[in-house]
């Protein structure tokens, strides 16, 4: 494994909180983002400009983005499913936005009420405005391994959607194991197919940890050359349209692994652990990070 650096994309304020049943206050969301920025993370997905009828927890995205004390080295991102979302994100000052679709039709329909083809059509004007505004766009491909409604998803299907997003102008593609059911050999096969279409340097991995495989999957992805990894402090996370899925890989556990491998992250593990502990208390949840739990003893 070469000694170099890995970029972490922090999901807790968005993926981490979107599935929380009780509304989390804007003040707590802001404090979470500020704490994460202080720990050294340089990319934080801070909000989601989706329909508040679909995901009420994310309805205060504008107040969150406008309320944070910004760190100049940090890029604050937001999910934007359509032009309406992008316009709101621009007003709120998002530094980066993300469109999201899926490799399986049923999940796409459940999540954004559109077929994959329609979702891509919607993204074209969004990407044009984002480019004009000089805002980088990330594209998510959900169900990159399994779909909650259709089962296993073929690497070819994932590669096709990733290619379409890349050709539309997405700067980076994040491949989501939405259900957290994947295992390393399948991750390798999927990455092999996708990297025929999109350069490895522009691919990210996004593992939910339902079956406890996320760290093993990260290791496999690192060996394939992936250097952008999504994770969420305290292992928070889940998609309201992926029943049974657990949180994302915990950022603390990821940083511990990467440090052990000699890969640089620029993040303070001690500070992350404190934040994971703090947000778990705020939400009344058991800390989902093994490192966070071990560190507390
Ligand atoms: P729709 O109902 O088909 O949309 O939803 P519509 O265009 O017909 O509009 C219906 C209403 O929504 C209208 O309001 C619009 O104004 C409003 P009304 O006239 O009824 O009062 N609306 C909006 N409001 C605010 N912001 C917007 C917006 N767009 C429309 N941007 C839509 C389509 C995509 C909007 C909806 O399905 C939606 O919001 N879905 C989001 C679901 C979601 O957030 N899922 C979780 C994030 S994805 C994820 O977690 C996976 C990921 O982590 C990777 C992985 O793990 O795989 C990224
Ligand atoms: Mg996710």
Q: Residue 141: its pLDDT value, please?
A: 98
pLDDT confidence of 3, banded at 50, 70, 90? low
CATH H-level, domain 7-295: superfamily = Aldolase class I (3.20.20.70)
| Atom of ligand 1 lying closest to residue 82 CA | 31
Indicate the length of the chain as a whole number: 297
Assess: ipTM above 0.85. yes
Decide if 108 is catalytic: no
Distance (angstroms) between ligand 1 centre and the Cα of 110 equals 11
Other residues' Cβ atoms within 10 Å of the Cβ of residue 73? 10
Burial class, 291, CB count within 10 angstroms (exposed 0-12 / middle 13-18 / buried 19+) = buried
List, for residues 98-118, the tens digit of each pLDDT value: 999 999 999 999 999 999 999
List, for residues 229-246, the tens digit of each pLDDT value: 999 999 999 888 888 888
CA distance 219 to 261: 10
Q: Which residues contact 213 (CB under 8 A, 6 or more apart)?
A: 180, 181, 182, 183, 184, 207
| Atom of ligand 1 lying closest to residue 176 CA | 57
SS3 state at 224: helix
């Amino acid at each position: 494994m070469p000694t170099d650096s890995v970029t972490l994309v922090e999901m807790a304020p968005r993926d981490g909180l979107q599935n929380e049943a009780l509304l989390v206050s804007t003040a707590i969301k802001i404090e979470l983002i500020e704490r994460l920025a202080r720990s050294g993370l340089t990319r934080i997905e801070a909000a989601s400009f989706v329909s508040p009828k679909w995901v009420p927890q994310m309805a205060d995205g504008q107040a969150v983005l406008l309320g944070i004390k910004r760190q100049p080295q940090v890029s604050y991102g937001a999910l934007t499913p359509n032009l309406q979302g992008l316009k709101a994100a621009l007003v709120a000052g998002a530094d980066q936005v993300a469109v999201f679709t899926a490799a399986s039709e049923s999940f796409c329909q459940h999540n954004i009420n559109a077929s994959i083809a329609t979702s891509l059509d919607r993204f074209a004007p969004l990407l044009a405005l984002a480019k004009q505004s000089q805002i980088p766009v990330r594209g998510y491909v959900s169900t990159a391994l399994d779909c909650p409604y259709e089962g296993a998803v073929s690497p070819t299907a994932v590669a096709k959607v990733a290619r379409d997003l890349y050709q539309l102008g997405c700067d980076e593609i994040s491949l989501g194991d939405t259900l957290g059911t994947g295992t390393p050999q399948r991750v390798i096969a999927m990455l092999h197919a996708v990297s025929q279409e999109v350069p490895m340097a522009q691919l990210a991995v996004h593992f939910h940890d339902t079956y406890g495989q996320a760290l093993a999957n990260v290791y496999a992805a690192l060996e394939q050359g992936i250097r952008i990894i999504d994770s969420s402090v305290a292992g928070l996370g889940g998609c309201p349209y992926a029943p049974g899925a657990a949180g994302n890989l915990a950022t603390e556990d990821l940083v511990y692994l990467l440090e052990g491998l000699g890969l640089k992250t620029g993040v303070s593990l001690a500070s992350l652990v404190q934040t994971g502990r703090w947000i778990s208390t705020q939400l009344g949840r058991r800390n989902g990070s093994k490192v966070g739990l071990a560190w507390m003893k």
